[in-house]
Structure 1
Amino acid sequence: MANRAYFIGTSGWSYLSFRGIFYPPELKSKDWLAFYAQYFNTVELNVTFYRTPKATTFQKWYEETPQGFVFSLKAPKVITHIKKLKDIEDSLKEFLKSFKPLKEKAKVLLFQFPPSLKYERGLCEAFLKLLPTEEFKIVVEIRNQSFHDPEWADLLREYGICLCFSDCGKRYPSWYEVKTADFLYFRMHGSKELYVSNYEEEELVALKNKIEAYNPSEAYIYFDNTALGYAVANALRLKELCQSELRIT
């Protein structure tokens, strides 16, 4: 129990839907991250999927968060959705260089595959070989049924890469519950409807119990049901349920 570390947060913090529900109405948006970091020990950066923030922005985020805070960075869409894992060496190097100001707080990298990407062993293995598994915890989120394949799971295990347990409101076949690394990573997009549905108490208790049953060294859980502000309430409640397990490393 004492050796577990749970990192619970939301997929981003800069949402107007959080104002009034979580952020005080009078709090300026430039102060939201510092406020957020008083309650959560991690955040998932979706912004890096769409664009590359300036080095000064990453530095500011580093300074606004406490020691032990963890950033999980979503890889740029040019790698996963445009090039679709092919000829990505330069794009990957640029991505890894971009967030160096986050220093040790940049601990996890998330690669979200597009729904159109199908499992091909050669392509996927060539991609996995490029990933900096010695420097970061690497996570892959799938969105195509073809990845529900034991061969794919074995490949991930071989390279020490985590398969994301992703709840997509049944829009995508993303929930392939196979543990492939010594840590777990959950993306909770909404069980009923993507981005807008609330997780009820029994669902959060079930999630807590599932995590405990796997007995991982670390677990990263991010709520992405942000449209109506449910994400922050769900993350806070799961944090309460898991309080005995939480520590910041």
Structure 2
Amino acid sequence: MTTASVDRAGAAAVRIGCAGWSIPSRHAHLFGDGESHLARYATRFDVTEINSTFHRRHQPRTFERWAASVPAGFRFSVKLPKRITHEARLSRTGDALTEFFEGVAGLGSTLGGVLVQLPPSLAFDARLANTFFAMLRRRCARPVACEPRHASWFEPAADTVWPRYAIARVAADPARLPAAARPGGAGAPARWNYWRWHGSPRIYYSRYEDPALEVLAQALRQHGTVRTPAWCILDNTAHGHAMDDAARMQRLVGGAV
């Protein structure tokens, strides 16, 4: 079973996966055998988004165990803690960033990138954004994707930040405004396009119908290259739809049989 859209160079141009790796029993047939949920999940998908880091700290050995449970080509994206993004609201977070990146270092080469999800109430402030992303970049050379949710982050003033710090702006569904549905940002080393589909019309709960997935599959194929891979994370996990939706996405993109 293949797990990604792969070009002739052998690198994944499109990666499709889920937020987390808990497998509902009704979707168990989609996966091979493994010693853990993560190991079984990795028989089908080659990427997952770790959301638990948003809520709590993990010991370095936990990340090391996860890295040892997956094939070499598997990649994790890891969500920044809410104490950085939502409680401190990006301000004076140097020590917290250092602690976070020291912990996730246990993922080694399986760390594919970092997700920064901002609270809906956090408006764009140029000084704050530049200070924060500069601090982050001093600690992290991996791809970084940011999901802003206040309309001001989609105005021209914010567009200068993304390339300056090589940040990819997430394409989200449901989108709070039209620009939020499209990936943005630019610059090495990020070179990353990142979709987070949360479930629509009911966020986290709704299943996606085939026409919506077909549109997304086309976008992933258009954007996904070895130099600028496209990642798609299904986050509609509340009723367990993410696994099936991601498997259907694989078939539509052409990365699974």
Q: Under a length normalisation based on structure 2, what TM-score does the superposition of the two structures give?
A: 0.85
Q: 2:141 aligns with which of 132, 135, 158?
A: 135
Judged with a 3 Å threshold, the aligned counterparts in structure 2 of structure 1 residues 207 and 83 are, in CA distance, closer, same or farther, namely: same
Displacement, 1:109? 0.3
Superposition pairs for residues 200-219 of structure 1, below 5 Å?
Answer: 200-216=209-225, 217-219=228-230
Could you tell me how far apart the structure 2 residues matched to 1:161 and 1:107 are?
14
- The letter of the residue matching 1:132 is R
Displacement, 1:2? 4.1
Superposition pairs for residues 1-249 of structure 1, below 5 Å?
Answer: 2=8, 5-14=13-22, 18-23=23-28, 31-132=36-137, 135-168=141-174, 172-173=176-177, 175-181=180-186, 182-216=191-225, 217-243=228-254
SS for the counterpart of 2:196 is strand
Displacement, 1:148? 1.6
| CA distances 1:11-45 after superposition (whole Å, capped 9, x unpaired) | 0113xxx3222236xx9997111000000001000
Displacement, 1:180? 1.4
Moved more, 68-77 or 175-184: 175-184
Could you tell me which runs of 5 or more consecutive residues in structure 2 were left unpaired when the two chains were aligned: 1-6
SS for the counterpart of 2:25 is coil
Contact (CA 8 Å) 2:218, 2:253: kept in 1 or not? no
- The letter of the residue matching 2:54 is F
| CA distances 1:194-246 after superposition (whole Å, capped 9, x unpaired) | 001111111111001122333542011100000111100111111111125x8
- The letter of the residue matching 1:160 is A
Could you tell me how far apart the structure 2 residues matched to 1:179 and 1:2 are?
26
SS for the counterpart of 2:194 is strand
| CA distances 1:133-162 after superposition (whole Å, capped 9, x unpaired) | 762100100111111212212210222110
- The letter of the residue matching 1:116 is S
Displacement, 1:116? 1.1
CA RMSD of aligned residues (A): 2.3
- The letter of the residue matching 2:37 is W
Contact (CA 8 Å) 2:223, 2:229: kept in 1 or not? no
SS for the counterpart of 1:43 is strand
Could you tell me how far apart the structure 2 residues matched to 1:119 and 1:63 are?
39
Could you tell me how far apart the structure 2 residues matched to 1:33 and 1:54 are?
17
Could you tell me how far apart the structure 2 residues matched to 1:92 and 1:176 are?
28
Contact (CA 8 Å) 1:153, 1:178: kept in 2 or not? no
Could you tell me how far apart the structure 2 residues matched to 1:13 and 1:225 are?
12
Contact (CA 8 Å) 1:23, 1:32: kept in 2 or not? no
State percent identity of aligned pairs. 31
Judged with a 3 Å threshold, the aligned counterparts in structure 2 of structure 1 residues 124 and 185 are, in CA distance, closer, same or farther, namely: same
Contact (CA 8 Å) 2:116, 2:146: kept in 1 or not? yes
Q: Under a length normalisation based on structure 1, what TM-score does the superposition of the two structures give?
A: 0.88
